[in-house]
Each structure stands twice: as C-alpha cells, then as structure tokens.
Copies of this chain bind each other. A is one copy, B any other.
Amino acid sequence: MLRQAQHEFVIRTRGRGLHEFTDELEHWVAQGALQTGLVTLHIKHTSASLLIQENADPDVRRDLDAFFARLVPDGDRLYVHTAEGDDDMPAHVRSAITPVNLSIPVAAGRLALGTWQGVYVWEHRTHPHTRRVAAHFIGE
C-alpha cells in the first residue's frame, strides 16, 4: 500500500563548492522499507542549490567552480544588494540558475541514479553554512 515519509537533512558545508550526500540519502531511502516510489528534495535556502553531477573525477567539480567564478564573479559592480559581502548577490544568482529541487524515482529500494551520478548540496557562499534539505518519499 502507498505511504509516505519525510525527513530533514542537515548538511554542514565547508564553504563554496559541492558537498556530496548521496550516501546519507541512499541510507534514508533504504531504511524506509519502501521498494518503489519517488524521492523529492528541496533546499530551504536562497544561496545554495542541489545538484546531481558526476562523482568520479574531482576535476569536474573544480571546473564547475571555475566556470561559475567566471560567469557570476564575486564583487561584481552590477549589484545593489551587497549587505552580506561580495559573495552575497552572486550566491542568489547561482541559486536561480541551478536547481533547488530534485525528484528521483526509486526502484528495487534504490534511487534510479546513473552510474556516475552523485547528489550534492552546492554551497554558493564563501564561508561554511548549515544547510537544511527537506525530503519527501512516497511509495510502497
């Protein structure tokens, strides 16, 4: 019979960059005893995102950082909203052009991720933050 479960993941980031939490997520899915269904994640912040990306070569994460540093540079003179520093408005822009929600089907008790896909919190602020991710699982 269909039922649902909820959870809030608390991720402590070490500052800007990708912080993988695939293992915590898979663990939560496995312990729920639901074999088939849908997991949805929502990050409760406007200066961080959720990303599914390659988890094999760390250079991919380094290059993503390099691309975004060029596309949305800190300290851009374009912005008025600079109360919290040079990385404040760039963090909002980054969270507008990258995902804040993810929805992943579950089959045979596992997330339907591709071979090289990991699930990440993408911290857009320079300093470490505590990030909250609301999780919902419906299935049977």
Query: Can you name the residue of chain B whose Cβ is closest to the Cβ of A69?
Result: B78
- Give A114-139 interface residues, CB cut-off 8 Å to B: 114-117, 132, 134-136, 138-139
Give the oligomeric copy count. 3
Distance from A23 Cβ to chain B, minimum over Cβ atoms (Å): 18
- What class of interface size applies to chain A in its complex with B? 35 or more
> Is B38 a contact partner of A62 (Cβ separation < 8 A)?
no
> Is A93 a contact partner of B67 (Cβ separation < 8 A)?
yes
The A contact surface, by secondary structure, is: mixed
> Is A103 a contact partner of B42 (Cβ separation < 8 A)?
yes
Q: Which of A78, A98, A112, A136 has the most CB of B within 10 A?
A: A136
Residues of B within 8 A of A134 (CB): 104-105, 107, 112
Residues of B within 8 A of A140 (CB): 4
Binding site for B on A (CB under 8 A): 2-4, 6, 8, 36-38, 40, 42-46, 51-54, 57, 59-60, 62-64, 66-67, 70-72, 78-81, 83, 89, 92-93, 95-105, 107, 112-117, 132, 134-136, 138-140
